[in-house]
Structure formats: structure tokens, C-alpha cells
């Protein structure tokens, strides 16, 4: 806002309206996408799935989002967030409806893998909010967008189980997921008419080249190539999980073919990175036009911990409470719903704090808290009272969600014209974290799972402390104060 004041409920300001329209679009993507977690006990009982089959569906639910966030990050920089959010909500909702009425485990697995596409919607809003808010307010605005949108997983936990129970039969979960998906499709169509990509008079800046992120030094070129490796390793890990060595969902020949395909796609990605950036070795980029890709890399690892933890924990928490403390499924779903519920405050709080005391210091404080709280959870025993475990989980969740807000308070300040691609890569790393942590959850006891998160968070804390740099101030655009009609489009 041009006057420097941030009033969340001053709806006469068009950028505030855009913020509300956009966080709700994100909210709907999460209702559809992460509604699987609280629904899993119902699906498991209805279809007679084994524990391992249920855990594989949870892993599949986040796998497709890894490449999707990279691709959507490129597409949103090219085509704009308005059309991309509509496409994601409509297509994602249709896939989710198909999942709800699948009648075999193979169909469930395939459709849940494809449903991960809707999780890429988050990246779209990062670019939209970056266009509508100046740098001095980007932390709080991105935090509200991310935090209130993430609340969709809590919204799903607090509504879908009750819809499933109210239907009164074993197919109740199918109706609950279908209703949520239809709502997402409807809002996706409405969103197209509610927003514009930029304030009036502003230019939507696009990357000079497409297909790979632009970097500005030889060191950054090599680092960018290396930072793509974890994205493909996460997908290879998923293939291993579904191979005869683990789940036996497909045969060993198929597993090797997937490994080969992933290797070929990675080499193609490296070639594209070179095609876009190889010229910098012959004609170095002037110092004044450079940015440091290590900033992107550290934020990627930070988001792997913060959002990866959130996705993994919100997916397994209901089953954890049922398994370890023998409480009813609906009660477990409600207790698990507290974890994403705190996104309403924690993620905006991380963004707000980042605006006030600086991006690096905020991340240092938050990662110290993430490390400590998950290490404590790693000591949990079955004899502990449920209320104490829930309380510690809430503390851990506050730090991890505030960390997500702090990461994305910094993302739009690195290189504006590539905000979608930077947000997409960081977001993809969040899903790499989810795949890794959920895979670990499938082979470890729950206390060991929490301990692993604490150890990895400590390693990322060291990266932030020693290598992250406070971003330089960015030029702030004066936004048009003229309110426009809600359905005015460009």
C-alpha cells in the first residue's frame, strides 16, 4: 500500500482485496490436497488397506508437487497468476473427484499421485502477492497469504471427517472429498473474474529466457545444477518405495526404467540450464546486475525443513495419535487439526517478524526453535499424556510455520522477475522434504521420525547462521490507489 499502513480489513484497498481473494484460492487447494490426511483412517477402514498401503498414498500425495511447483513457477512468470490459479483449481478438483470414486488400490495410487499437482497453487500466489505489495510489507502479506491458505489443511480436518460420518456409510469419505473438490472448481472459475495480475499502470515483468532459472556467475551455475539433484533423488526415493524392495506396487524392470527416465530428465535439465546460462562464462554479468544463487539454495533447504515438516506431520499426525494413544479417529483428526490451525497466526507472525528485525535474524531464531522442539518430540514415549504431546507438537508447529513465513518473506526480494521460479524451486524443496520425511516415517518409529527432523533442522540452522546474507533493499513500486471494480479484468 502506498501510504505504508497495513490494514488487513480495509477492503477499499484493492491490494487487500487481492490478498483475501488469493489466500482463499490457496486455502481451497489445501482443502483438496491435504484433506487426504484426516480422511486416511476412513479410507483405510473402508477399503481394507494395510498400514503400508495407507502410508504410500500419503507419500504419493506430495510427490507430483515436486516437479509441478518447478513447472508452475515457470508458467506463472510467463502467463501470470490469474489464469494459472484458475487452471490449477479446476484441473486439481477434477482429478480429486476421480480419486474419490476410484475402486482399486492401483487407481487410488495413480490418481493420488496426480492430485499432487494442485499443491503447486501455492507458487502462483507468491507471485501475485509480490506484484501487489511493496518490499517493506512483503513479509506480512506473504505470511498472511501462506498462513491463512495453509489453514485449508485444518479446515479439511475440521469438516471432512464430520461429512464422512454424517453420510452414514463406508462411502462417506467419497462424498466428503467430492464436495470439497466441487467447491474448489467453483472458486477457481470465480477467481478468474475477481483479480488482475498487477495494479493498474504496473508492468508484469517476465524472465528474459524460459526453461531454467537465470544465474549470474560460474559458481552459481554449478550450484544451480547441483541443487536440482535432490529434486530427482526424491522422486527416485519414491520409486524405490513402490518397488519390489518395499511395496511391490510395480516390478523391478519398471523401477529401473523409472530410474533411467529420471536420470535422462536430469541430464536434459542440466542441458537446459547450460543453454540458458552458459554465456555468462564467456561474457560475465556486470557486478551490479548479479544476485547470489546461494541465497536461493539456503532458502530451499530451509523450506525443505519448514514446509516439508508441515506436510509430513499433518499427514501422519492423526494416525500417530490413533496408533500410540488409542483414541477415536474423529478425536485424532481434530487434535491433528490443531497443528495446521496455528498457521493462521504463526506463518504471518514469521513474515511480520522478518519485516521488523530482518530476514536472517528471524530465520536464526526460528530454526533454533525448530531444532529444539523436534528434538524434544524425539524423546516421546507411549506413556506420555496425550495433552503433553499435543502441546509440544503445537510449539514445534509454531516454529516451523513461522519459518515458512520467514522464508517467503525473503523469496520475492532476491530477483523480482524470477519470483515465480524462485518460489517454485523453494516450494519444490518443501515437497522433497515431505517425501523424505514421510518415507522416513514409513520405516521409523514415530519418536525416531521426530528426532530425525530435529537433527536435519540443526544442520540447516548452521547454513543460515554462517552463509545466509541479509537481502539488499529493493525498489518499491507505488501502487495505484484507485479502487477498481471487483470483476474488472485485463
104 within some domain: yes
Q: What is the CATH number of the domain that holds 90?
A: 1.20.1250.20
Residue 463: CB partners within 8 Å, gap ≥ 6?
298, 301, 302
68 within some domain: yes
- Is the pTM higher than 0.85? no
pLDDT attached to residue 475: 42
Q: By residue range, what is the domain housing residue 23?
A: 14-201+210-467
Q: What is the pLDDT of residues 13-27, one digit of tens each?
A: 888 899 999 999 999
pLDDT higher than threshold 60 for residue 11:
no
Q: What do you get for the CA distance between the two ends of the chain, in Å?
A: 21
Q: What is the pLDDT of residues 269-289, one digit of tens each?
A: 999 999 888 888 888 888 777
Q: Which of 203-212, 247-256, 430-439 has the lowest mean pLDDT?
A: 203-212
Give percent of the chain above pLDDT 70. Answer: 92
H/E segment holding residue 344: helix 343-357
408 within some domain: yes
Q: How many domains does the chain have?
A: 1
9 within some domain: no
58 within some domain: yes
479 within some domain: no
pLDDT higher than threshold 60 for residue 482:
no
* Higher pLDDT among residues 98 and 52, named by residue: 98
pLDDT higher than threshold 50 for residue 325:
yes
pLDDT attached to residue 481: 40
Segment 70-93 shows an average pLDDT of 90
Q: What is d(CA 271, CA 75) in angstroms, rounded to the nearest whole number?
A: 19
pLDDT attached to residue 474: 45
pLDDT higher than threshold 90 for residue 178:
yes
Q: What is d(CA 142, CA 476) in angstroms, rounded to the nearest whole number?
A: 16
484 within some domain: no
DSSP annotation string for 72-109: HHHHHHHH-HHHHHHHHHHHHHHHHHHHHT--SHHHHH
339 within some domain: yes
Q: What is the pLDDT of residues 409-425, one digit of tens each?
A: 898 888 777 777 888 88
* Higher pLDDT among residues 479 and 219, named by residue: 219
Closest among 14, 426, 446 to 200, alpha carbons compared: 14
pLDDT attached to residue 85: 95
Category of 4 on φ-ψ map: left (φ > 0), alpha (ψ -120 to 50) or beta? left
pLDDT higher than threshold 70 for residue 10:
no
* Higher pLDDT among residues 47 and 225, named by residue: 225
Amino acid at each position: 500500500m502506498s501510504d505504508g499502513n497495513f490494514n488487513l480489513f480495509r477492503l477499499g484497498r484493492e491490494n487487500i482485496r487481492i490478498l483475501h481473494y488469493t489466500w482463499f484460492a490457496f486455502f481451497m487447494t489445501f482443502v483438496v490436497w491435504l484433506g487426504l490426511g484426516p480422511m486416511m483412517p476412513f479410507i483405510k477402514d473402508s477399503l481394507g488397506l494395510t498400514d503400508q498401503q495407507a502410508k504410500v498414498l500419503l507419500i504419493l500425495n506430495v510427490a507430483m508437487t515436486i516437479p509441478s511447483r518447478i513447472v508452475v513457477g515457470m508458467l506463472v512468470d510467463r502467463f501470470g497468476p490469474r489464469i494459472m490459479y484458475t487452471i490449477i483449481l479446476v484441473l486439481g478438483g477434477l482429478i480429486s473427484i476421480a480419486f474419490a470414486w476410484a475402486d482399486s488400490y492401483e487407481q487410488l495410487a495413480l490418481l493420488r499421485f496426480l492430485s499432487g499437482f494442485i499443491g503447486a497453487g501455492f507458487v502462483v500466489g507468491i507471485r501475485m502477492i509480490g506484484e501487489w505489495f511493496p518490499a517493506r510489507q512483503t513479509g506480512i502479506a506473504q505470511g498472511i497469504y501462506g498462513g491463512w491458505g495453509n489453514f485449508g489443511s485444518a479446515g479439511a480436518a475440521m469438516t471432512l471427517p464430520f461429512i464422512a460420518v454424517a453420510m452414514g456409510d463406508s462411502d462417506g469419505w467419497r462424498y466428503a472429498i467430492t464436495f470439497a473438490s466441487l467447491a474448489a472448481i467453483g472458486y477457481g472459475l470465480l477467481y478468474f473474474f475477481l483479480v488482475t495480475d498487477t495494479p493498474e499502470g504496473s508492468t508484469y515483468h517476465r524472465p528474459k529466457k524460459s526453461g531454467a532459472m537465470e544465474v549470474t556467475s560460474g559458481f552459481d551455475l554449478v550450484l544451480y545444477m547441483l541443487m536440482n539433484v535432490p529434486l530427482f533423488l526424491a522422486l527416485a526415493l519414491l520409486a524405490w518405495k513402490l518397488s519390489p524392495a518395499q511395496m511391490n506396487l510395480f516390478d523391478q524392470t519398471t523401477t529401473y526404467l523409472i530410474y533411467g527416465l529420471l536420470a535422462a530428465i536430469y541430464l536434459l535439465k542440466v542441458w537446459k540450464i547450460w543453454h540458458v546460462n552458459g554465456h555468462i562464462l564467456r561474457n560475465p554479468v556486470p557486478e551490479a546486475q548479479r544476485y547470489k544463487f546461494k541465497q536461493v539454495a539456503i532458502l530451499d533447504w530451509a523450506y525443505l525443513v519448514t514446509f516439508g515438516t508441515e506436510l509430513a506431520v499433518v499427514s501422519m499426525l492423526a494416525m500417530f495419535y490413533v496408533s500410540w494413544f488409542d483414541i477415536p479417529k474423529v478425536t485424532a483428526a481434530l487434535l491433528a487439526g490443531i497443528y495446521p490451525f496455528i498457521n493462521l497466526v504463526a506463518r504471518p507472525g514469521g513474515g511480520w517478524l522478518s519485516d521488523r528485525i530482518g530476514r536472517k535474524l528471524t530465520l536464526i531464531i526460528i530454526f533454533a526453535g525448530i531444532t529444539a522442539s523436534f528434538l524434544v518430540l524425539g524423546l516421546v514415549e507411549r506413556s506420555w499424556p496425550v495433552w503433553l504431546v499435543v502441546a509440544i507438537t503445537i510449539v514445534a508447529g509454531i516454529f516451523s510455520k513461522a519459518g515458512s513465513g520467514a522464508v517467503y518473506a525473503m523469496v520475492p526480494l532476491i530477483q523480482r522477475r524470477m519470483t515465480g521460479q524462485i518460489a517454485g524451486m523453494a516450494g519444490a524443496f518443501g515437497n522433497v522434504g515431505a517425501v523424505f520425511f514421510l518415507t522416513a516415517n514409513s520405516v521409523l518409529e514415530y519418536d525416531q521420525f521426530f528426532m530425525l527432523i530435529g537433527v536435519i533442522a540443526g544442520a540447516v540452522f548452521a547454513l543460515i547462521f554462517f552463509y545466509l546474507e541479509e537481502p539488499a533493499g529493493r525498489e518499491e513500486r507505488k501502487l495505484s490507489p484507485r479502487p477498481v471494480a471487483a470483476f474488472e479484468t485485463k
